Amino acid sequence: MINRLCKMFTAALALAIVALAMPAMAAEESAAPGKPEVSDLDSRIQDAKNEVIQLNRDLLVLEEDLLFPANTQVAVFVSMDVGKLFALDSVQVRLDDKEVANYLYTPSEVQALHRGGVQRLYVGNLRSGSHELVAFFTGKGPYDRDYRRGATVKFDKSTDPKYIELQITDSAGKIQPQFAVKIWQ
């Protein structure tokens, strides 16, 4: 299906280029250099570029709708709060005992999460029914010790899309990080 969409996009792009080239060649043969037809050609080329960009945007939306229909879609996100007690290195996500995501973070990505960013870690399809998500967080904990902790949640997938957030928060009372899983409705 994606190959067909790519072929359609390529054909549309080729058609737009040919449609612009034909009048331009005719104008070159009949007009002297420096005439106003050049600016008209520039504006038509710019219009064609804008149409191709819009078509590409529409095809990407269509592709996402076809690959991840709302009735089977599940998305997993990662967020952090202040992060004084945990320096994140990686996150591994297993869904029904199958690894679906494994991500190694750069320092700039961790800083973005500390500033309130949320990362989409996984988007996929999941049949309706009962499922289990297990997330493993690896990094440096309090006192610069290696830290590997997990969080597990069991959930029921219905026909609506399911959004799951993996939250990393500091627990000042326990002086250690906490890992939670939040299911958005």
String of b and e for 57-67 (b: at least 16 CB within 10 Å)?
A: eebeeeeeeee
Q: What was the pLDDT predicted at 121?
A: 94
If one compares 52 and 38, the residue with the highest pLDDT of the two is: 52
64-102 pLDDT, tens digit each: 777 766 678 899 999 998 767 888 999 999 999 999 999
Coil, strand or helix at 20: helix
**Six-digit token string for 44:** 């038509």
Contacts with 143 (C-beta within 8 Å, 6 or more apart), sequence order: none
CATH architecture of 73-184: Sandwich (2.60)
Q: What was the pLDDT predicted at 174?
A: 76
**Six-digit token string for 185:** 């409705």
Q: What was the pLDDT predicted at 154?
A: 93
Q: What share of the chain is helix, strand, coil (3-state, %, to 5)?
A: 40, 40, 20
Radius of gyration of the chain (CA): 25
With contact defined as beta carbons under 8 Å apart, do 139 and 90 qualify? yes
128-166 pLDDT, tens digit each: 889 999 999 999 887 888 889 999 999 998 888 899 999
With contact defined as beta carbons under 8 Å apart, do 34 and 27 qualify? no
Please state the domain extents for the chain: 2-67, 73-184
